[in-house]
Structure 1
Amino acid sequence: MPQVDDTLRAIAEPRRLAILRLVASEELSAGHIAEHFEGVTRSAVSQHLQVLKDAELISERREGTKRLYRASEDGLAELRRFLDQMWGDSVNLARRLAEGGDGEEEIRAVG
């Protein structure tokens, strides 16, 4: 399973994030995905797809000679767990600071 750092790096690139959005609700071929990116070669799109696959954010299915891509629920769920935990930690820190604590321990844990 990829580390969260790898996942975040994968979606930090705008084209990869756009690809992930495209395949979030439907399965698409690499060619169809490439059509959405003017001036980007199919080879470059294939490289972006590989990075997303390596981060387990998308899955690939072969149908004859076509490769079809779709967002991976498991990979996205892992990212969501990380973000939920991070958000929860921040909310807890804010609550303690609002209640008059100094929050120093929480800041060290989060930072």
Structure 2
Amino acid sequence: MDSTSFKQPKLESSEAFPSVFVRNHREIKEKKKEAADRILKIVNAAWHKGRWSGNEQEYRYEVSILERTISTLTTDIIVLHTSYYEICGRIMDCATWGENEDTYPGLVAS
């Protein structure tokens, strides 16, 4: 048997991985934000049409959680968009230098 019969499948280049990872992460955050926006609209519609089964305190609590979630996701999406290249670079740095304890001495597990 010759060694060419056991070729490794061609994997995505290590340089492309960070960009795919960051893009996918941003898309997940965008989908979560869209879902939270839809839920907030449903909760508000139910409240204003008198179909909300809880009291006002429960309604305000649910709305505050949804608004905080939407705000946090919006911030995350903006950061992932505006700092895209920096984040990709940091991922590459961690992949390249992360094994060396001298690189990040403050992050070494004790």
Name whichever structure is richer in strand by fraction.
1
Judging by fraction of residues, say which structure has more helix: 2
Instruction: Find the structure with the greater CA-based Rg.
Output: 2
TM over 0.5: no
Q: TM-score range by the shorter chain?
A: 0.3 to 0.5
